Amino acid sequence: MIKLVVGLGNPGQKYQQTRHNVGFLFLDAMFGELAGDWIQDARFDGLVSSCQINGAKIHLLKPTTFMNRSGYSVGKLARYYKLSIDEVLVVHDELDFDVGVARLKKEGGHAGHNGLRDIISHLGASDFYRLRIGIGRPQTGKSVADYVLSCPANKEVELLRQVFSFCEGPVRQMLMGHYEKAMSELNALNLVN
C-alpha cells in the first residue's frame, strides 16, 4: 500500500501557482480537508502532513528544497519511516501530456524531469509510483524553464481542477492497495478530446 504521497514543486509565493507546482497543488486539492496542518519539518526539509484513509496513516510531503533537490527530502522521509520504494507515490508535472491528461505508472526513467532524477538518485531505484499530470509544452523556440515556471492560462487552470477532481477516486483506490483498478480508471482520463 502507498504510505507516502509526495507532491513536487518549488517553495515560495513566487512559484505557488506555476505549472511546475502541479504536485503541490494536487496535494492541496486532494488532501486539503483530510490532512492536518502542513508543518515545516527540518528533519525532512519539507512541509509535512498526514491523514488516515481506511485506518492507514498516509504521510504527505511537499519538499522545500526546490525541484532539483526533491530527492534529498523524499529520501530522508522514506528512510526515517522505513518505507519501501513501492510505498511511495510521486505527483508531478508532465510536459509530454497535454493539459487535461493524467497517467499513473510504476517505475521508469526521469525523462529529463530534474525532480524525478534527484528522487531516483536518493532512493537508489526508480520503481516508485508516479502520477503524471499534463501541463503541455511551450511553443517551438520558447524556453521550457520559463514555461514550467509560469502560471497557466485560466482555461488550463480549469482543466487542471477537473483533472485533480477526477484523480481523487483512482488515487484513493491506490491508497487502499487497488493498484490495477486505479491505473485502469486513471489511464482512461483525457479531458482534451
Q: Is 49 strand, coil or helix?
A: strand
pTM of the shown model: 0.94
- Cβ atoms within 10 Å of 173's Cβ, excluding its own: 19
pLDDT band at 54 (very low <50, low <70, confident <90, very high): confident
- 58-72 pLDDT, tens per residue? 999 999 999 999 999
Q: Among 20, 59, 113, 122, which one carries the catalytic annotation?
A: 20
Between CA 21 and CA 62 the distance in angstroms is 10
- 97-136 pLDDT, tens per residue? 999 999 999 978 787 788 999 999 999 999 999 999 999 9
Q: Which CATH class, in words, describes the domain spanning 4-186?
A: alpha beta
- 20 in active site: yes
Between CA 97 and CA 17 the distance in angstroms is 19
- 145-182 pLDDT, tens per residue? 999 999 999 999 999 999 999 999 999 999 988 999 99
The grid cell for 100 is 487535461
- 2-42 pLDDT, tens per residue? 999 999 999 999 999 999 999 999 999 999 888 889 999 99
pLDDT of residue 113: 86
- What is the maximum span of the chain, computed from C-alpha positions, in angstroms? 50
pLDDT of residue 148: 96
Using the CB atoms, write b or e for 112-129: b if 16+ within 10 Å: ebbbbbbbbebbeebebb
pLDDT of residue 78: 97
- 31-53 pLDDT, tens per residue? 988 888 999 999 999 999 999 98
